[in-house]
Amino acid sequence: MATGNHTTVILPTGPLPPDYVAADRGHILISICICFIVLEVIAFVLRTFARRLRKLPFRWDEALVVFSLLSNLTLAGMAIASVTTAGVGKHTIVAARQGYSLQWGALNGSILIPNIYALAVVSSKLAILQLFGNIFSMGIERRITQFLAVIILVHGIVAFFMTLFQCNPPSDAWKTEIRENCLNMTLYYKYNCLPTVITDAIMLVLPIPKVWSLHAPIRMKLGVGFMLFTATIGVVSSIMRTWGFFNNNQIYVDPRWETLDLFAYTVAEPATYFLAICLSSYKVFGRYMKSERMMSFLSKYGVPFSARSYRGFGQFDNDDSKAKGGSNDKQKGVRDFDSVLLSEIERDSRKDNSVTDSIP
């Protein structure tokens, strides 16, 4: 139980009911982790293919996306390891009697997973803010974006070191069942989630006024709505993780059993951010679906194909080409963006600027 800086893991004694011994939810966490691993790898491969189709160079923000993927995969791998080696999903006393490593479970759950989570969330959210930075070249929105980036980075650094040095000495976090000189981690985990939820909410609403002020066809607004929906999923994961900490005071009473849901939320949150980043890159596939190479490929295998049936898939790209008049210099500003949303906003901003410049 957690009171002040004194945290004790309670291990019951005596005979245990058969249902208590047989209870095991570890397969749920493993399934969730494998699902997100597969989705993230596929999403990243498609993102890489989309960038190759557009012949975009490898930039520093793309390195941030790669780091985010590696952090997410490591996080999911550590969550799976917590089931197979530490018995997460079983009751703690059962895991101990069956030979699972409680010390490794404490190290993994108290130090490794929280710190890898911090790296994954910070890198994923900074990648999203980089996209927002391309949208907002000036004004209050850009200052808010920069402020959010600083807050997220500072919060991640503080959380990393507070988790690492939660006990004195730090090894008490995983070597002892009675942690005398440690932070009250129950309270820490609760309130450490709040800045994440707040920044998520701000990131969700930040681009909405600019986006919905555009004069765009309904197809584009539906696409924008879908992209915002993916961001909403990230907010939902963050809220569920926060709710889990606020409604679970038994983490140190039966840690192997109680932490399974929290680990699932911890894996899902940065994964949804990452999927949102990748989804924003797939606009180019609409143009590719209308290419002669794809038409030839589909015809070769007898797939019914009509350019008219795919008319929506590359419409914005065609509009971009017409608006840019074939100039390579003009193409570069829009082609560097990663989504319909960003390119449309950039083009609208350029029109606004050109009108302003023409006023004497």
DSSP string, 263-319: HHHHHHHHHHHHHHHHHTTTTHHHHHHTSHHHHHHHHHTT----GGGGTTTTHHHHH
CATH number at residue 118: 1.20.1070
Residues near 156 by Cβ (< 8 Å), separated by ≥ 6?
118, 119, 121, 122
Residue 73, in any domain of the structure = yes
How many domains does the chain fold into? 2
How far is residue 347's CA from residue 142's CA, in Å, rounded to a whole number?
A: 17
In order of 64, 188, 255, 267, the CA distances from 158 in angstroms are 20, 12, 24, 20
What's the Cα-to-Cα distance from 69 to each of 25, 75, 76, 124, 228, rounded to whole Å?
A: 26, 10, 11, 8, 21
Domain boundary among 219, 253, 281: 281
Asked if residue 133 and residue 110 are part of one domain, the reply reads yes
- 26-70: per-residue pLDDT in tens? 999 999 999 999 999 999 999 988 888 777 777 777 889 999 999
Residues 51 and 95 in one domain: yes
Q: Which residues contact 24 (CB under 8 A, 6 or more apart)?
A: 89, 90
As a whole number of angstroms, the distance between CA 267 and CA 240 comes to 12
For residue 287 the two structure tokens come to 């143009």
Q: Is residue 67 part of a domain?
A: yes
Q: Do 258 and 344 belong to one domain?
A: no
The boundaries of the domain holding residue 338 are 289-354
Look at residue 119 and tell me whether its pLDDT is greater than 80. Answer: yes
Domain annotation covers residue 16: no
The answer on 117 and 168 residing in a single domain is yes
Report if residue 359 sits inside a domain.
no
Boundary (domain end) residue, out of 243, 260, 281: 281
The verdict on residue 102 lying in a domain is yes
Is the same domain home to 245 and 302?
no
Q: What angle do CA 248, 251, 254 make, to 5 degrees?
A: 120
State how far Cα 314 lies from the chain centre.
Answer: 28
Q: Identify the domain boundary among 240, 262, 281.
A: 281
Question: Residues of the chain with pLDDT > 90: what percent?
Answer: 24
Say yes or no: 224 and 271 in one domain: yes
Q: Is pLDDT above 90 for 180?
A: no
Is residue 58 located within the same domain as residue 206?
Answer: yes
Burial class (CB within 10 angstroms; exposed 0-12, middle 13-18, buried 19+) of 360: exposed
Burial of 264 (0-12, 13-18, 19+ CB in 10 A): buried
pLDDT in tens, 200-240: 888 888 877 776 666 666 666 666 666 666 656 677 878 88
Q: Average of pLDDT values for 337-355?
A: 48
Are residues 235 and 141 located together in one domain of the fold?
yes
Q: Is the pLDDT of residue 188 over 50?
A: yes
The answer as to whether 10 is a domain residue is: no
> Does the pTM of the predicted model rise above 0.95?
no
Which amino acid is present at 167? C
* 350 in the same domain as 317: yes
- From residue 201, alpha-carbon distances to 134, 161, 234, 273 in Å are 20, 25, 10, 13
Residue 171 binned pLDDT confidence (cut-offs 50, 70, 90): confident
The residue among 198, 193, 191 whose CA lies nearest residue 144 is 198
Same domain, 342 and 224: no
Percent of the chain with pLDDT over 70: 65
pLDDT in tens, 134-144: 767 667 888 88
112 SS3 class? helix
Examine the domain organization and report whether 139 and 262 are in the same domain. yes
- Comparing 77-86, 104-113, 181-190, the range with the smallest average pLDDT is 181-190
